[in-house]
């Protein structure tokens, strides 16, 4: 398949990024994705316990990923993470060359990362935020629609509507995220003007991902309507429907304040769902494309199947 500007920017073969995934974007997953010619991403909290040291955890995943691949890989930093500046400096010290930032202001760390020779891609959910990120000097934006698993933008723009508007509004490469899991999604994203795609949910159901087997099985079992957004007063979050999301929606519907909702969520709810396999009342970040994920395969095969399907989809147009 054709090389895009994203491939050139990141020195990768295929314009596919495995999204950062709090708790479950581990070194083995990232390395498998990078070895297949796409870009793997490590998350600072991958596999750790709540009481563990996040910086130590991050360093160990970066070192492990380096031992498993000599291809480029990245680290994702949700910018509201406490002490994120220390984590960013640790990644720079460990020689990480690409970073994605999300859920925060790109004005805070982009210049620092760029001075250290690190490429920065920032996740956005609106044209205004994409333009702001471009002004801060990021190398590319990841335009994420609200189909995506995990935290979404407040305005609930779909990937199909968001991506072409962002493409028209900025001159840096745009990566499409949210609702993409196969070659059709990749081709559609490129047709909308994106230079590549970021995929999360499909990579949960892979052998290398550290997610609990119960979570992987729940993704495979999910149907098209199997996810829901909760937390509209706090920060929209898409996850698999379960007792927890039902309780959240009921409590939100009763007019609970953001503070009351925070108490309901408590600490480590998504860790409990995603790493401990508590699929009943844990939180399970998951995108609405889960209904199309029918099996657990290797992360390299996810990339290979998309790449192999690309020519077939283009030829059928």
Contact 68, 47 (CB under 8 A): no
- Please give the residue whose beta carbon sits closest to ligand FMN in the complex: 200
Regarding 167 and contact with ligand FMN (CB under 6 A), the answer is: no
User: In this complex, which beta carbon is closest to ligand FMN, that of residue 218 or of residue 259?
Assistant: 218
Regarding 287 and contact with ligand FMN (CB under 6 A), the answer is: yes
Regarding 182 and contact with ligand FMN (CB under 6 A), the answer is: no
User: In this complex, which beta carbon is closest to ligand FMN, that of residue 22 or of residue 69?
Assistant: 22
Instruction: Name which of residues 245 to 284 contact ligand FMN (CB under 6 A).
Output: 274
Regarding 28 and contact with ligand FMN (CB under 6 A), the answer is: no
User: In this complex, which beta carbon is closest to ligand FMN, that of residue 26 or of residue 69?
Assistant: 26
Hunting for tokens 């909760």 — which residue is that? 230
Regarding 237 and contact with ligand FMN (CB under 6 A), the answer is: no
Regarding 175 and contact with ligand FMN (CB under 6 A), the answer is: no
Residues 6+ apart with CB under 8 A from 266: none
User: In this complex, which beta carbon is closest to ligand FMN, that of residue 82 or of residue 253?
Assistant: 82
Size of the site for ligand FMN (CB under 6 A): 29
Closest CB 35 distance from ligand FMN, rounded Å? 19
User: In this complex, which beta carbon is closest to ligand FMN, that of residue 134 or of residue 147?
Assistant: 147
Closest CB 283 distance from ligand FMN, rounded Å? 9
Regarding 173 and contact with ligand FMN (CB under 6 A), the answer is: no
DSSP string computed for 17-74? EEPP-TTT--HHHHHHHHHTTSBEEE-TTTT--TTS-HHHHHHHHHHHHHHH-SS-EE
User: In this complex, which beta carbon is closest to ligand FMN, that of residue 31 or of residue 306?
Assistant: 306
Q: How many CB atoms lie within 10 A of CB 222?
A: 23
DSSP string computed for 139-187? SEEEEE-TTSSEE--TT---HHHHHHHHHHH-SS-EEEESS--SHHHHH
Closest CB 254 distance from ligand FMN, rounded Å? 28
DSSP string computed for 205-228? TBSS--S-HHHHHHHHH--TT-EE
- What does the alpha-carbon distance between residue 270 and residue 109 come to, in Å, rounded to a whole number? 26
Regarding 285 and contact with ligand FMN (CB under 6 A), the answer is: yes
Q: Is 262 exposed, middle or buried (0-12, 13-18, 19+ CB in 10 A)?
A: middle
Contact 12, 38 (CB under 8 A): yes
**Short-list 281, 297, 278, CA closest to 204:** 297
Residues 6+ apart with CB under 8 A from 105: 79
Closest CB 163 distance from ligand FMN, rounded Å? 12
Among 28, 134, 139, 144, binds ligand FMN (CB under 6 A): 144
Regarding 62 and contact with ligand FMN (CB under 6 A), the answer is: no
Determine the interface stretch with ligand FMN among 64-72, 168-176, 195-203, 247-255 (rule: CB under 6 A): 195-203
Among 21, 74, 98, 307, binds ligand FMN (CB under 6 A): 21
Q: Which residues pair with 141 in a beta bridge?
A: 122, 174
User: Which spans of this chain sit near ligand FMN (rule: CB under 6 A)?
Assistant: 19-22, 24, 43, 76, 78, 102, 123, 144, 147-150, 177-180, 198-201, 204, 274, 285-287, 289
């Amino acid at each position: 398949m054709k090389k895009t500007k994203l491939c050139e920017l990141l020195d990768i073969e295929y314009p596919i990024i495995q999204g950062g995934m709090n708790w479950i974007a581990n070194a083995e997953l990232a390395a498998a994705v990078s070895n297949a010619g796409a870009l793997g991403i490590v998350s600072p909290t991958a596999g750790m316990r709540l009481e563990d040291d996040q910086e130590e955890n991050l360093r160990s995943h970066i070192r492990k990923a380096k031992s498993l691949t000599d291809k480029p890989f990245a680290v994702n930093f949700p910018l509201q993470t406490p002490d994120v500046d220390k984590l960013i400096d640790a990644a720079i010290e460990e020689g990480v060359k690409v970073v994605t930032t999300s859920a925060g202001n790109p004005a805070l760390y982009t210049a620092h990362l760029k001075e250290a020779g690190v490429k920065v891609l920032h996740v956005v959910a609106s044209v205004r935020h994409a333009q702001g990120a471009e002004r801060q000097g990021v190398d590319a934006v990841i335009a994420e629609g609200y189909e995506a698993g995990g935290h979404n933008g407040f305005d609930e723009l779909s990937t199909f509507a968001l991506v072409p508007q962002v493409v028209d509004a900025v001159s840096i490469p745009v990566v499409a995220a949210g609702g993409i899991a196969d070659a059709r999604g990749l081709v559609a994203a490129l047709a909308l003007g994106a230079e590549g795609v970021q995929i999360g949910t499909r990579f949960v159901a892979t052998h290398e991902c550290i997610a609990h087997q119960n979570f992987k099985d729940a993704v495979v079992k999910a149907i098209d309507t199997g996810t829901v957004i909760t937390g509209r007063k706090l920060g929209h979050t898409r996850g698999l429907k379960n007792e927890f999301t039902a309780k959240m929606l009921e409590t939100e519907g009763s007019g609970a304040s953001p503070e009351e909702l925070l108490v309901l969520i408590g600490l480590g709810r998504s860790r409990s769902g995603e790493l401990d396999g508590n699929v009943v009342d844990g939180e399970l970040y998951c995108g609405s494309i889960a209904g199309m994920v029918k099996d657990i395969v290797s992360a390299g095969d996810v990339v290979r199947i998309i790449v192999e399907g690309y020519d077939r989809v283009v030829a059928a147009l």
